[in-house]
Amino acid sequence: MTGDQDARASSQLRSNREGSLRDSQTRFHFLMPTSAEANTATNPKSGQGNDYKEMYSKSRPKALPSGVEAPDFTLRSTPDQWLALSEFRGQPVVLAFYPADWSPVCGDQMALYNEMLKEFHELGAELIGISVDGAWCHAAFARDRKLHFPLLADFEPKGDVARRYGVYRDKDGVSERALFVIDAEGKVHWSFVSPIGVNPGADGILSALEDLQNKQATLATK
């Protein structure tokens, strides 16, 4: 098939579909800000990024560093279920603190981690999201985004767990966008606080989990 034929074929398809595409773009663009908005929001060079930044105060995070005991906590995972960090003793846990359900970057960050669950599980780890949103809000958010990992409600006393991990933003009433990898013994192995509008991705988590796995392998051979 020639290039011209290709072009004709796709242009015909395009014109057939264009009307409804425009409708869906209008609809979804408003309802479902995705990665791209998140990316522009994070970029200091783009105007939108500045707007996003202005929503939050500047803060100096003092996240718990590696080596310290990870404070245990028990939080609601659904309106009628509770989850404690100590339940995961014996395996690594990824704690992903994020500012809020529904805000563009968080949605995108959680959507990315949702796709990464298989890799996390292969490395023996469980993933937990935490924000100050209530359990019903989490339930709606998780259903909308088809999330397959628990979201915990750091809701009452508000932000208490985030405070204990050194990642609460008093002025904003939300947590930092912070990642902790907790080892099988319940110690912080790695922590990272991302600028609040920046999706930190998953590469740091994977490296930390692999590091843990290598350490374990070294110990086992000793």
Partner 1 sequence: MINQTQLKLPDPERDHIQGAIDAPIALLEYGDYECLFCGEVQPIVREIQRRLGDDLCFAFRHFPLTNVHPHAEHAAEAAEAAGEQRSFWPMHETLFANQNALDDESLAEYGAALGLDEVRLIQEVISGAYAARIREDFKSGVRAGVNGTPCFFINGKRYDGPRALESLLAAVSQPATIM
Give burial (CB, 10 Å; 0-12/13-18/19+) of 157: exposed
The neighbour count for residue 117, using CB atoms within 10 Å, is 15
Least Å from the CB of residue 147 to partner 1: 7
Among 29, 62, 121, 215, binds partner 1 (CB under 8 A): 29
Cβ distance to partner 1 smaller for residue 147 or 193: 147
**Number of residues forming the site for partner 1 (CB under 8 A):** 48
Q: Is 9 in the site for partner 1 (CB under 8 A)?
A: yes
Residue 147 in the binding site for partner 1 (CB under 8 A)? yes
Residue from 63, 201, 211, 216 in contact with partner 1 (CB under 8 A): 201
| Two structure tokens written together for 136 | 């019903």
Element (H, E) at 96: strand 93-97
Q: Please tell me whether residue 112 binds partner 1 under the rule CB under 8 A.
A: yes
Question: CB of 79 within 8 A of CB of 139?
Answer: yes
Rounded distance between C-alpha atoms, residue 14 and residue 6, angstroms: 12
If one asks whether residue 10 binds partner 1 (CB under 8 A), the answer comes out as: yes
Among 59, 114, 213, 216, binds partner 1 (CB under 8 A): 114
170/167 Cα distance (integer angstroms): 9
39 binds partner 1 (CB under 8 A): yes
Taking the C-alpha atoms of residue 110 and residue 189, their distance in angstroms, rounded to an integer, is 21
Rounded Cα–Cα distance for residues 188 and 165 (Å): 10
Q: List 190's β-bridge partners, or say none.
A: 181
Is 106 labeled as catalytic in the residue annotation? yes
Cα within 13 Å of Cα(110), Cβ side: 30
70, 202, 208, 212: which one binds partner 1 (CB under 8 A): 202
The one catalytic residue in 93, 94, 106, 135 is 106
Give the residues lining the site for partner 1 (CB under 8 A): 1, 5-6, 9-14, 17, 20-21, 23-25, 28-29, 32, 34-40, 42-43, 45-46, 108-109, 111-112, 114-116, 119, 145-148, 199-204, 206
Catalytic residues: 106
